[in-house]
């Protein structure tokens, strides 16, 4: 049998020019491929030792590069299989050549996340840890990276273990009651089980509740800047990003297409959208821009309505505030450098009585001078911060984990109800078995092929 066929190869470093580029192989044929590429014997490579070797094209023996080759022998490797890492010079052309040679020698191009999937299959990691690798690579802030590292070190399993053990104990008691007791569970034992289940349910919910903070740290929030033309939306966009990204002029209708950029506020990744000014227009291009602006507004976690503090409020402004009411929104009163008063109450009152109810949501700023920008940044993240979670704690960051925790919670809640209503142990046990299965799905003890395919498709190739 050709052992190379099940050996996968991929570039482990980003595509493009770099100092060094690393190609990784995993599988039974990895060592053999390394030997053929270097014209050496397999035993020239010792586990966990880097060897400097000339890579040659086996067909014409032409030199390709001088590379550092490191061999990790199964099972002591990332994947649990034989792994070869080839550190070449970081030329895209050269790296492509080496990968093509590996393919010609019988390797197969790795699927997204396939190295990690193999690590999972060989018990080198659990599923939550595998997902943590993806999250670490994708992390946009220090805080997100730190959470991923904690999850990678097995904190998810450590948090779930006691819950699972206690659930399992209860399942055992109920199952033996089924087998050995003629009548129903004695009243007192049933009450004990209910109170233990209540405690497990509470802890599951507490853990799931950390998702609000965890989700924010990992995925951040999206904020869309809206307002009528010329109030200073693009100026604010640039000011928040710290670059002259959007074109600013005193002509209404300058921004026609929307602009998207990422930046961070404190530890929170923020996806900021600048939009075309909302107004009735006959200009075809601007009209499309206005439609897109309405779409971006509907999709946003937070809408930042910009008003001109120097100008009186128009009917368009009122319409825009009204359409933001359905959502999380704040109001940025811009151009305060042009007003004589910085007092927000007076600004709000001068603007319009219609603004009075939203006093709490208003921040006075100047996109031109930067005044009030710190307050605005605080106001952007404030609606999303949770005070009840200590950030030193471990947070649930993944929607999949949150969903499974909530399902676990609901199953336990139903089982408690069943016990209280004196239903048969069989019925109660179904819910508890489901709860155990959901907890198992988080760490991957119980998984389906389909589920793994879905999860690993979100990984990058080469990891």
Ligand X SMILES: Nc1nc2c(ncn2[C@@H]2O[C@H](COP(=O)(O)OP(=O)(O)O)[C@@H](O)[C@H]2O)c(=O)[nH]1
Binding stretches for ligand X (CB under 6 A): 227, 229-235, 248-250, 254-255, 277, 334-335, 337-338, 366-368
Can you tell me the distance from the alpha carbon of 115 to that of 250, in angstroms, rounded to the nearest whole number? 54
Alpha helices in 69-225 (DSSP H): 92-104, 114-121, 127-138, 142-152, 155-180, 187-209, 211-219
H-helix or E-strand spanning residue 368: none
Among the candidate windows 131-139, 146-154, 173-181, 231-239, which touches Mg ion by CB under 5 A? 231-239
CB of 236 to Mg ion, least distance (A): 9
Task: Find which of Mg ion, ligand X, none residue 462 binds, CB within 5 to 8 Å per kind.
Answer: none
Other beta carbons within 10 angstroms of residue 431's beta carbon come to: 21
Give whichever of 252 and 389 is closer to Mg ion, judged by the CB atom: 252
- Site for Mg ion (CB under 5 A): which residue of 26, 234, 415, 443? 234
- Site for Mg ion (CB under 5 A): which residue of 255, 334, 366, 443? 255
Can you tell me the distance from the alpha carbon of 79 to that of 27, in angstroms, rounded to the nearest whole number? 9
Residue nearest to ligand X (CB): 232
- Do the Cβ atoms of 169 and 192 come closer than 8 Å? no
Give whichever of 233 and 407 is closer to Mg ion, judged by the CB atom: 233
Torsion of CA 169, 174, 179, 185, to 10 degrees: 130
Give whichever of 28 and 337 is closer to ligand X, judged by the CB atom: 337
Can you tell me the distance from the alpha carbon of 429 to that of 59, in angstroms, rounded to the nearest whole number? 64
Q: How many residues bind Mg ion (CB under 5 A)?
A: 3
Among the candidate windows 125-133, 250-258, 296-304, 434-442, which touches Mg ion by CB under 5 A? 250-258
Asked if 224 interacts with Mg ion (CB under 5 A), we say: no
CB of 376 to ligand X, least distance (A): 12
Closest CA to 116 of 100, 99, 129: 129
CB of 282 to ligand X, least distance (A): 18
Binding mask of the shown chain, residues 88 to 127, with x at each position contacting Mg ion by CB under 5 A: ----------------------------------------
- Do the Cβ atoms of 72 and 46 come closer than 8 Å? no
Give whichever of 74 and 252 is closer to ligand X, judged by the CB atom: 252
CB of 238 to ligand X, least distance (A): 8
Task: Find which of ligand X, Mg ion, none residue 296 binds, CB within 5 to 8 Å per kind.
Answer: none
Give whichever of 223 and 429 is closer to Mg ion, judged by the CB atom: 223
Three-state DSSP class for residue 87: strand
CB of 68 to ligand X, least distance (A): 52
CB of 259 to Mg ion, least distance (A): 9
Give whichever of 267 and 337 is closer to ligand X, judged by the CB atom: 337
Three-state DSSP class for residue 241: helix
Residues found near Mg ion in the complex (CB under 5 A): 233-234, 255
């Amino acid at each position: 049998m050709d052992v190379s066929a099940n050996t996968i190869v991929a570039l482990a470093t980003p595509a493009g020019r770099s100092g060094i580029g690393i190609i990784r192989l995993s599988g039974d044929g990895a060592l053999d491929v390394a030997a053929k590429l270097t014209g050496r014997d397999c035993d020239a490579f010792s586990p966990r030792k880097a060897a400097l070797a000339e890579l040659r094209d086996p067909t014409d023996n032409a030199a390709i590069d001088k590379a550092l080759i490191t061999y990790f022998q199964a099972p002591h490797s990332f994947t649990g299989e034989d792994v070869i890492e080839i550190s070449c010079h970081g030329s895209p052309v050269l790296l492509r050549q080496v990968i093509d040679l590996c393919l010609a020698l019988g390797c197969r191009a790795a699927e997204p996340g396939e190295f990690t999937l193999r690590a999972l299959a060989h018990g080198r990691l659990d599923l939550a840890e595998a997902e943590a690798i993806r999250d670490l690579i994708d992390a946009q802030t220090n805080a997100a990276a730190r959470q991923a590292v904690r999850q990678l070190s097995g904190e998810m399993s450590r948090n779930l273990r006691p819950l699972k053990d206690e659930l399992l104990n209860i399942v055992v008691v109920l199952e033996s009651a089924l087998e050995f007791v003629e009548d129903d569970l004695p009243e007192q034992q049933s009450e004990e089980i209910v109170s233990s289940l209540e405690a497990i349910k509470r802890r599951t919910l507490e853990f799931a509740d950390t998702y609000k903070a965890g989700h924010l740290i990992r995925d951040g929030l999206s904020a869309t800047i809206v307002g009528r033309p010329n109030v200073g939306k693009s100026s604010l966009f640039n000011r928040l990003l710290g670059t002259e990204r959007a074109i600013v002029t005193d002509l209404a209708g300058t921004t026609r297409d929307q602009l998207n950029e990422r930046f961070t506020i404190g530890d929170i990744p923020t996806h900021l959208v600048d939009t075309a000014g909302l107004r009735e227009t006959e200009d075809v291009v601007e009209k499309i821009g206005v439609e897109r602006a309405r779409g971006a507004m509907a999709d946003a976690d937070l809408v930042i309505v910009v008003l001109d503090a120097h100008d009186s409020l128009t009917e368009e402004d009122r319409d825009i505030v009204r359409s933001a009411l359905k959502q999380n929104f704040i109001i940025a009163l811009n151009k305060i450098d042009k007003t004589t008063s910085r007092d927000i109450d007076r600004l709000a009152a001068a603007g319009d009585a219609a603004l009075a109810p939203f006093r709490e949501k208003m921040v006075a700023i100047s996109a031109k001078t930067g005044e009030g920008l710190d307050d605005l940044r605080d106001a952007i993240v404030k609606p999303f911060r949770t005070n009840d979670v200590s950030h030193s704690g471990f947070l649930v960051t993944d929607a999949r984990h949150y969903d499974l925790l909530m399902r676990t919670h609901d199953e336990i809640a139903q089982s408690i109800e069943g016990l209280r209503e004196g239903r048969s142990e069989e019925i109660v046990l179904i819910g508890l078995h489901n709860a155990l299965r959901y907890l198992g799905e988080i760490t991957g003890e119980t998984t389906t092929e389909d589920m793994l395919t879905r999860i690993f498709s979100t990984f990058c190739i080469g990891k």
